[in-house]
Amino acid sequence: MQRVPSRDLSASIIDFRSMHTSALTPSAAMPPRPWADWFNLPAYLLVWSFPGLAALSFYYLNQTVTAQPLNWSFALISTLPNWYIWAILTPLIIRVTRTHPMDQDNWKKTLLTVHLPALLASMLVHSMVNLILFRTAGLHDEMTIGLYRVHFFTRVHANIFTYAAIVGLFFSYEYYRRYMSRETQTASLQVQLAQANLRALKMQIHPHFLFNTLHSISALVRKSENRSAVTMLGQLGEFLRLALENKGQQEIPLEEEIDFLRRYLDIEKVRFGDRLGVDIQIDDAVKSCYVPNLILQPIVENAIHHGIAPTVSNGMIKITATVNGDRLCMSVADNGPGLKNPDRLRKGVGVGNTQERLENLYGANHEFSLRNGELGGLQVDICIPRASEPVMQLAQEDS
């Protein structure tokens, strides 16, 4: 076996400093999770093998071009193990870096008191292991302080760069991970806030409707229309049963919303009798689409009380739901007096809550308008994204 004289070691060892730029190990980007969740030892060693193989090929080409003999023992010991040592040191370096975080306030102190000692310790260990490997492979006759200095100073610049690359990559990943965590947390908080707002708005609808219905029942009782009052109470009970079944659901299929709306209209028909006519036209293609729970009832209630109640007879409420591209468009129209000045409309609980709920659920991706419609009275148009699943559920999954 060819031996490398100690005095020629510093001249014989190939300067692989340029090869160290390849040491961008994934362990530097290690997320703070249990090792079993992410660590793959073969892949980890394979990554660290790339710079070693590059250095080995460089040595081979250099010896071939310069017509020098190949010493495979020297070539293998001075290349691949050099990087495997850093593979072993990397988890320790990351642990130190994570234990002593560095920010704009303490970076100088952390650099001087933590990373400089850690760098020096890593270099000392790296050089000692290299010296032992050279001696074990028979490339050194002995182990001396002089040889240790040669190993230390030959790779000092490359080792400093490797340590800095590991720490720098770890900090870069931590910054990215925290940024994504903040983004996810912000999105989650926005969803939770929207849910809280929607719950509060929905809770306002029930008392508002309940107050108006009980007022109507009391009016029937005062008129001695007891049979109608009893009928209305029974239908109110059925209405509230459906409301309790949908408790907590912000969005339901349009078919269920229309069924719920029919229950409400049955209550109002007891009060208005033949004065209230209803025309409901729902496309089959949109019956399974999800809409905000109780989105139409407040609008219909407004249409009845402001459009139908003032009329003597032949009141009509028309409710439609159609597909318009990727959007679901709904409208509620009446043949009442309409609006003299829609821009100066004073919005009550029903209209105000409807707009706020749409804003919370869809943001700017919805349309809500009031105008004088084809029946002669007020028409309310709502266009929302056509969704086969609840929008709030999709938002939670994305966050």
Tens place of pLDDT per residue across the chain (399 aa): 444 444 444 333 333 333 333 333 333 334 444 444 556 788 888 888 888 888 888 878 888 888 888 888 888 888 888 888 998 999 999 999 888 888 778 888 988 999 999 999 999 999 999 888 888 888 888 889 999 998 899 888 889 999 999 998 888 888 888 888 777 766 665 665 565 555 555 555 556 667 777 887 888 888 888 888 888 888 888 777 776 676 667 788 999 999 888 988 888 887 788 888 999 999 999 999 999 888 898 888 888 888 887 776 788 999 999 999 999 999 999 998 887 765 555 566 667 778 887 887 888 899 999 988 888 889 999 999 999 888 766 544 554
Task: Copy the structure tokens of residue 277.
Answer: 């006519």
Q: Which structural domains are found in the chain, ordered by start?
A: 6-154 (no CATH), 194-398 (3.30.565.10)
**What pLDDT, on the 0 to 100 scale, is given for residue 39?**
65
Residues paired with 282 in a beta bridge = 321
pTM higher than 0.75, yes or no? no
pLDDT of 174 reads: 85
Q: Cα–Cα distance between 357 and 308 in angstroms, integer?
A: 26
Transcribe 281-333 into DSSP letters: EE-GGGTTSEEETTSSHHHHHHIIIIIITTSSS-EEEEEEEEEETTEEEEEEE
Helices (H), 78-144: 80-99, 107-110, 116-136
Taking residue 374's Cβ as centre, other Cβ atoms within 10 Å add up to: 10
* Residues in Cβ contact with 289 at an 8 Å cutoff, skipping those fewer than 6 apart: 253, 254, 328, 386, 387, 388
Q: Give 310's Cβ-side CA count (13 Å radius).
A: 10
Output Rg (C-alpha) for the chain, integer angstroms: 38
User: Quick one: tokens of 53?
Assistant: 């193989």
- The continuous run of DSSP H or E covering 279 comes out as strand 276-282
Which structure tokens are listed for 385?
A: 């994204």
pLDDT at 23: 34
